């Protein structure tokens, strides 16, 4: 049986004025895969994330997830098919506590509306209690329960990154896109993060699209690599093959 | 972070005691107001409370959703004119008009919000300033029967008087000279109570968290499934609805509405109250309303004892002093009065939240050691603060009856510390009996409890005395 690609990026081009951020990019991802997307600064990695999560409109091309065309959806609809992401520079909500941040993570799959909330109807109260328990469990999984009721501001950067991860996990995502999860972390934190990502993938049946500069980590956990340079794909495939590709070495790993 | 006076686990018996003490204090404050204040001061209080509701409406949009909308005076006006017209022209009761006003406000919110919320920041501010600026002229339009309904430039009076029915005559103050205004005070208090409860529930659940998420990071909110335009418009419409309710309360309180009441000056007052109270806090809205009215009042009177008068009877320095207070607040309490209150609260009490297992997320005992004497000392200071403030308030009343309202208000805020002192001291004595405190705390704690009880008794006697004097 041939595996059908879960995420299919076809011929995506993004232009900002005269600048081509992504140039005819295509690749596919299988379910359950950890795919490392690498490339020098400005190669278009985050631009791709923003296209998939519908913050940017592509100039041409399409993104298909499990047979559905994501480019036809608006930003808030992407979570309905199970696509979630974290942000390179964090997109937490500092005015709320950590656990509330994680609770908003499952906004898509919860139902309470203005009326049921204002009147605290039984349906809303049971959903809220359940949501709080699941948020606690997600925090517990990432060892964050100590800060559950602290404001999501003023905590160490590494902690905030993990809170973002917990916020994405609570919604039972199918595809999770991690934008430089290791930036700002110490060496030992990076190693444990790599292990965490693998464990979470296995436990939650995730498919992980990983953008990361930290080469040791990317090469350590990725099952497939896509290498970008100036918006173009220069290599695609098994990490051990790709890392020895002369063009990749030239562009990114340094030609020494 | 310094260790607070007490650390309690959420929902523990001790925590409940503190919560009940808070509610008791609030109840006492509400009950005393119509007893202690003069009739014209109750009227001012009513106006302050009405403004509080309008500020709450502004806060929903500006403080909780991060949208700079400044035109809520228009929503108040809509609510006020709908009420005046329905009560005067159609002979409806006020309570029957409430759903109409809420629905009209909501629809106006959707109509204005849908296009306006497509722009942000200063652009939204500009659009909503236009809304506030144009409203007072709209009520004068002589087409479609609008001027007939609104009374046009003459304004619209409501001849039906709001007085307490027989079965509510037991409420404090509603009989005698202050009857009307004190009864309206109670109606407004009940309406605010219900509004606050509903708004708090709304903000502390799924739709409210979505509103806050938009304020804190729009891109993040969208990625997590928050439909930005729908949530923003819904929140704006709810806010407009509450603004209109404030208009209804305005009409109920004054019995007269005119276009000149709902100009951009009112919108500015709402913004001042919002900032001084505390942007993005529910309590801040209420405090902000009280502050705008009472401090404005105080500044008007402050230079009169110096022999300085203007033709309209206000002190000539009023605006300057008010402006100075605003500047001082911007520098020293940018988070508003609520942020100051929270600083004090953080010194008094820390509530440790519970994990789903029911255990506090941090051990309570670890906060305990080494604080024995400090706590008893603090309790004693608190217990002294109560009676001292009471005495100052009493003195002030006899020196200049014009500022009675302000001081009566102030000392009642501070007298809270007397019952608090009793609570703390009793706790300490109990801990001492269990062998958890050294003998050295026994003396101060006993004194603190005695003084605290005296302070509390003082308030009761004072209230009783006023009650007898007035009736």
A197-221 pLDDT tens trace: 999 999 999 999 999 888 888 888 9
**DSSP β-bridge partners for residue A68:** A65
Q: Do B225 and A55 touch (CB under 8 A)?
A: no
Are A235 and A247 within 8 A, CB to CB? yes
Q: Do A79 and B216 touch (CB under 8 A)?
A: no
pLDDT of residue B74: 93
**Structure-token pair, residue A165:** 């991860």
Q: Are residues B42 and B170 in the same domain?
A: yes
Question: pLDDT at residue B365 above 90?
Answer: no
pLDDT of residue B182: 82
B216 occurs within a structural domain: yes
**How crowded is the C-beta side of A207, counted as CA atoms within 13 Å?**
17
DSSP 3-state of A96: coil
Q: Are residues B156 and B281 in the same domain?
A: yes
Angstrom distance (rounded) from CA B185 to CA B190: 9
Considering only CB atoms, B222 lies closest to which of A75, A149, A171, namely A75
Residue B390's pLDDT band, with cuts at 50, 70 and 90, is low
Angstrom distance (rounded) from CA B113 to CA B123: 13
User: Which chain B residues are Cβ-neighbours of A110 within 8 angstroms?
Assistant: 206
Q: Do A112 and B209 touch (CB under 8 A)?
A: no
Q: Are residues B47 and B16 in the same domain?
A: no
Residue B467's pLDDT band, with cuts at 50, 70 and 90, is low
Q: Do A79 and B224 touch (CB under 8 A)?
A: yes
Q: Once rounded to an integer, what is the mean pLDDT over residues B39-46?
A: 84
pLDDT of residue B38: 74
CA distance to partner chain B, nearest, from residue A75 (Å):
6
Sign for the CA dihedral angle at B229, B230, B232, B233 comes to: positive
Q: Are residues B286 and B414 in the same domain?
A: no
Q: Are residues B242 and B193 in the same domain?
A: yes
Residue B151's pLDDT band, with cuts at 50, 70 and 90, is confident
DSSP B2-63: PPPSEEEETTSHHHHHHHHHHHHHHHHHHHHHHHHS-HHHHHHHHHHHHHHHHHHHHHHHHT
Chain A's closest residue to B362, CA to CA, is: A146
CA distance to partner chain A, nearest, from residue B300 (Å):
37
Domains of chain B: total: 2
CA distance to partner chain A, nearest, from residue B419 (Å):
29
- Of A47-51, B25-29, B42-46, B328-332, least confident by mean pLDDT is B25-29
Q: Do B280 and A107 touch (CB under 8 A)?
A: no
Q: What's the longest Cα–Cα distance across chain A?
A: 67
User: Which chain B residues are Cβ-neighbours of A91 within 8 angstroms?
Assistant: 217, 219-220, 223
Which residue of B59, B106, B206 is the best one to mutate when testing the A interface, meaning the one whose CB has the most A CBs within 10 A? B206
Q: Say what the pTM is.
A: 0.86
Q: Are residues B254 and B228 in the same domain?
A: yes
**Structure-token pair, residue A95:** 């005015």
Which residue of A87, A100, A118, A179 is the best one to mutate when testing the B interface, meaning the one whose CB has the most B CBs within 10 A? A118
Q: Are residues B80 and B8 in the same domain?
A: no
Q: Once rounded to an integer, what is the mean pLDDT over residues B385-409?
A: 53
B316 occurs within a structural domain: no
User: Which chain A residues are Cβ-neighbours of B223 within 8 angstroms?
Assistant: 53, 55, 75, 78-79, 84-85, 91
Helix crossing, B94-116 with B121-138: angle to 10°?
A: 140
Using a 10 angstrom Cβ sphere, with 0-12 exposed, 13-18 middle and 19 or more buried, the burial of residue B398 is exposed
- CATH assignment of the domain containing B146: 1.10.3470
Q: Strands across the sheet with A224-229, in order? A: A83-85, A175-179, A207-211, A34-38, A224-229, A232-237
Q: Do B215 and A95 touch (CB under 8 A)?
A: yes
Question: pLDDT at residue B364 above 90?
Answer: no
Are B425 and B456 within 8 A, CB to CB? no
Residue B366's pLDDT band, with cuts at 50, 70 and 90, is very low
B188 occurs within a structural domain: yes
**DSSP β-bridge partners for residue A60:** A13
Chain A's closest residue to B213, CA to CA, is: A93
Q: Once rounded to an integer, what is the mean pLDDT over residues B267-284?
A: 91
User: Which chain A residues are Cβ-neighbours of B224 within 8 angstroms?
Assistant: 79, 84, 104-105, 107-108, 167, 171
pLDDT of residue B400: 46
Of the three residues B229, B260, B292, the one that is the final residue of a domain is: B292
DSSP 3-state of A129: helix
> What is the percent of chain B with per-residue pLDDT over 90, rounded to a whole number?
28
Chain B's closest residue to A83, CA to CA, is: B223
The H-or-E segment that residue A237 falls in is: strand A232-237
DSSP A97: B
Of the three residues B276, B292, B308, the one that is the final residue of a domain is: B292
**DSSP β-bridge partners for residue A8:** A28, A64
Question: pLDDT at residue B310 above 80?
Answer: no
Q: Do A145 and B361 touch (CB under 8 A)?
A: yes
Of the three residues B292, B326, B360, the one that is the final residue of a domain is: B292
Which span out of B72-76, B145-149, B453-457 was modeled with the highest average pLDDT? B72-76
Q: Do A118 and B202 touch (CB under 8 A)?
A: yes
Long-range contacts of A132-138 (CB under 8 A, 24+ apart): A132/A99, A132/A103, A132/B356, A133/B356, A134/A106, A134/A170, A135/A99, A135/A102, A135/A103, A135/A105, A135/A106, A135/A166, A135/A170, A136/A99, A136/B355, A136/B356, A138/A102, A138/A105, A138/A166, A138/A167, A138/A169, A138/A170
Which residue of B220, B230, B281 is the best one to mutate when testing the A interface, meaning the one whose CB has the most A CBs within 10 A? B220
Separation in Å, CA A188 to CA A7, A158, A194 = 32, 12, 10
DSSP B290-358: HHHHHHHHHHHHTTGGGT---TTSS-TTHHHHHHHHHHHHHHH-TTHHHHHHHHHHHHHEEEEPBPTTS
Are A173 and A141 within 8 A, CB to CB? no
Q: Are residues B11 and B86 in the same domain?
A: no
pLDDT of residue A1: 42
- Of A53-67, B96-110, B142-156, least confident by mean pLDDT is B142-156
Angstrom distance (rounded) from CA B68 to CA B56: 14
Question: pLDDT at residue B315 above 90?
Answer: no
Whether the CB of A172 is below 8 Å from some CB of chain B: the reply is no
B100 or B363: which carries more pLDDT confidence? B100
Q: Are residues B14 and B45 in the same domain?
A: no
Q: Are residues B276 and B415 in the same domain?
A: no
> What is the percent of chain B with per-residue pLDDT over 70, rounded to a whole number?
77
Angstrom distance (rounded) from CA A236 to CA A248: 10
Considering only CB atoms, A114 lies closest to which of B202, B212, B217, namely B202
B363 occurs within a structural domain: no
B29: Cβ–Cβ under 8 A, 6 or more apart, which residues?
B412, B413
- Tens digit of pLDDT for each residue in B51-98? 999 999 999 999 999 999 999 999 999 999 999 888 888 888 888 899
User: Which chain A residues are Cβ-neighbours of B210 within 8 angstroms?
Assistant: 104, 107
User: Which chain A residues are Cβ-neighbours of B212 within 8 angstroms?
Assistant: 93, 95-96
B303 occurs within a structural domain: no
B419 closest CA partner among B466, B463, B459, B467? B459
Q: Do B201 and A92 touch (CB under 8 A)?
A: no
**Structure-token pair, residue B218:** 């729009």
Q: Whats the size of chain B, residue-wise?
A: 471
Residue B367's pLDDT band, with cuts at 50, 70 and 90, is very low
B199 occurs within a structural domain: yes
Number of Cβ pairs < 8 A linking chain A and chain B: 112
**Structure-token pair, residue B172:** 């404090």
CA distance to partner chain A, nearest, from residue B327 (Å):
25
pLDDT of residue B143: 72
For B160, other C-beta atoms within 10 Å of its C-beta total 12
Are B45 and B37 within 8 A, CB to CB? yes
Separation in Å, CA A253 to CA A110, A128, A248 = 45, 49, 7
Place of tokens 């609260």: B345
DSSP 3-state of A92: coil
User: Which chain A residues are Cβ-neighbours of B196 within 8 angstroms?
Assistant: none
Angstrom distance (rounded) from CA B105 to CA B116: 16
A122: Cβ–Cβ under 8 A, 6 or more apart, which residues?
none
| Number of helical (H) and strand (E) elements in chain A, helices listed first | 9, 10
pLDDT of residue B1: 46
B135 occurs within a structural domain: yes
Q: Are residues B7 and B108 in the same domain?
A: no
Q: For each of chain A's 256 residues, which pLDDT tens digit applies?
A: 455 688 999 999 999 888 889 999 999 999 999 999 988 888 888 899 999 998 889 999 999 999 899 999 999 999 999 999 999 888 999 999 999 999 999 999 998 999 999 999 999 999 999 999 999 999 999 999 999 999 998 898 889 999 999 999 999 999 999 999 888 888 888 888 898 899 999 999 999 999 988 888 888 899 999 998 888 888 888 888 888 888 888 776 665 4
Q: Whats the size of chain A, residue-wise?
A: 256
Q: Are residues B17 and B87 in the same domain?
A: no
- Tens digit of pLDDT for each residue in B293-307? 888 877 776 655 555
Helix crossing, B282-301 with B39-62: angle to 10°?
A: 140
Q: Which runs of consecutive H residues, i.e. helices, occur in A30-186?
A: 45-52, 98-104, 114-118, 122-141, 157-169
Considering only CB atoms, B227 lies closest to which of A76, A103, A119, namely A76
B342 occurs within a structural domain: no
Q: Could you list the residue range(s) of the whole structural domain that residue B469 is in? A: 1-33+371-471
- Tens digit of pLDDT for each residue in B236-263? 999 999 999 999 999 998 888 988 889 8
Whether the CB of A119 is below 8 Å from some CB of chain B: the reply is yes
């Amino acid at each position: 049986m041939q595996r059908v690609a879960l995420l299919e990026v076809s011929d995506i081009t993004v232009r900002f004025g005269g600048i081509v951020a992504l140039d005819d990019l295509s690749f596919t991802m299988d379910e359950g895969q950890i795919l490392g997307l690498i490339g020098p600064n400005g190669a278009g990695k985050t631009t791709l994330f923003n296209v998939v999560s519908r913050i940017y409109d592509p100039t041409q091309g399409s993104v298909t997830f499990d047979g559905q065309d994501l480019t036809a959806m608006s930003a808030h609809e992407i979570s309905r098919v199970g696509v979630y992401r974290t942000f390179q520079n964090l997109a937490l909500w500092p005015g709320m506590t950590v656990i509330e941040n994680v609770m908003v993570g499952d906004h898509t799959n919860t139902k309470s509306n203005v009326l049921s909330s204002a009147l605290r109807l039984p349906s809303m109260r049971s959903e809220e209690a359940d949501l709080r328990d699941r948020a606690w469990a997600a925090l517990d999984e990432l060892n964050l329960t100590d800060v559950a009721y602290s404001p999501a501001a003023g905590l160490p950067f590494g902690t905030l990154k993990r809170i973002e991860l917990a916020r994405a996990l609570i919604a039972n995502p199918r595809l999770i896109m991690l934008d430089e999860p290791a930036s700002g972390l110490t060496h030992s934190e990076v190693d444990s993060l790599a292990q965490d990502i693998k464990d979470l993938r296995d436990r939650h049946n995730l498919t992980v699209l990983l953008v990361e500069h930290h080469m040791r980590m990317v090469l350590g956990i990725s099952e497939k690599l896509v290498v970008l340079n100036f918006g173009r794909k220069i290599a695609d495939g098994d990490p051990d093959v790709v890392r020895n590709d002369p063009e990749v070495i030239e562009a990114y790993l340094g030609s020494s | 972070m310094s260790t607070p006076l007490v650390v309690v686990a959420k929902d523990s018996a001790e925590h409940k005691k503190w919560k009940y003490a808070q509610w008791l204090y609030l109840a006492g404050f509400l009950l005393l107001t119509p007893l202690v204040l003069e009739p014209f001061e109750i009227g001012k209080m009513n106006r302050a409370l009405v403004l509080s509701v309008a500020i709450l409406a502004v806060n929903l949009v500006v403080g909780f959703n991060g949208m700079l909308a400044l035109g809520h005076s228009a929503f108040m006006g809509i609510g006020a004119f709908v009420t005046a017209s329905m009560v005067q022209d159609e002979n409806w009761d006020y309570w029957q008009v409430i759903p109409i006003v809420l629905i009209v406000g909501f629809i106006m919110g959707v109509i204005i919000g849908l296009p306006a919320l497509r722009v942000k920041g200063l652009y939204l501010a500009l659009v909503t300033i236009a809304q506030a600026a144009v409203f007072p002229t709209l009520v004068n339009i002589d087409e479609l029967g609008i001027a007939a309904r609104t009374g046009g430039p003459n304004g619209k009076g409501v001849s039906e008087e709001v007085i307490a029915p027989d079965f509510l005559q037991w409420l404090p103050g509603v009989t005698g000279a202050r009857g009307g205004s004190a009864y309206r005070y109670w109606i407004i208090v009940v309406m605010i109570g219900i509004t606050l409860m509903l708004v708090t529930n709304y903000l502390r659940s799924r739709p409210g968290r979505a509103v806050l998420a938009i304020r804190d990071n729009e891109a993040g909110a969208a990625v997590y499934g928050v439909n930005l335009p729908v949530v923003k418009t819904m929140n704006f419409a709810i806010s407009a609805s509450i603004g209109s309710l404030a208009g209804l309360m305005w009409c109920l309180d004054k019995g007269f509405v005119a276009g000149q009441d709902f100009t951009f000056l009112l919108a500015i007052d709402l913004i001042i109250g919002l900032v001084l109270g505390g942007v993005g806090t529910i309590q801040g809205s209420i405090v902000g309303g009280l502050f705008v009215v009472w401090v404005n009042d105080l500044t008007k009177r402050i230079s009169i004892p110096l022999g300085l008068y203007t033709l309209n009877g206000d002190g000539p320095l009023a605006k300057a002093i008010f402006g100075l207070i605003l500047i001082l607040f911007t520098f020293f309490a940018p988070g508003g009065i609520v942020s100051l209150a929270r600083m004090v609260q953080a010194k008094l009490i820390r509530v440790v939240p519970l994990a789903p297992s029911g255990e506090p997320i941090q051990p309570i005992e670890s906060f305990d050691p080494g604080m024995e004497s400090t706590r008893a000392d603090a309790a004693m200071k608190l217990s002294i603060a109560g009676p001292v403030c009471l005495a100052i308030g009493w003195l002030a009343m006899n020196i200049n009856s014009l500022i009675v309202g302000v001081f009566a208000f102030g000392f009642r805020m501070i007298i809270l510390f007397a019952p608090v002192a009793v609570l703390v001291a009793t706790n300490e004595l109990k801990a001492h009996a269990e062998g958890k405190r050294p003998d050295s705390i026994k003396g101060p704690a006993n004194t603190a409890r005695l003084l605290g009880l005296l302070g509390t008794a003082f308030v009761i006697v004072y209230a009783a005395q006023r009650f007898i004097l007035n009736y």
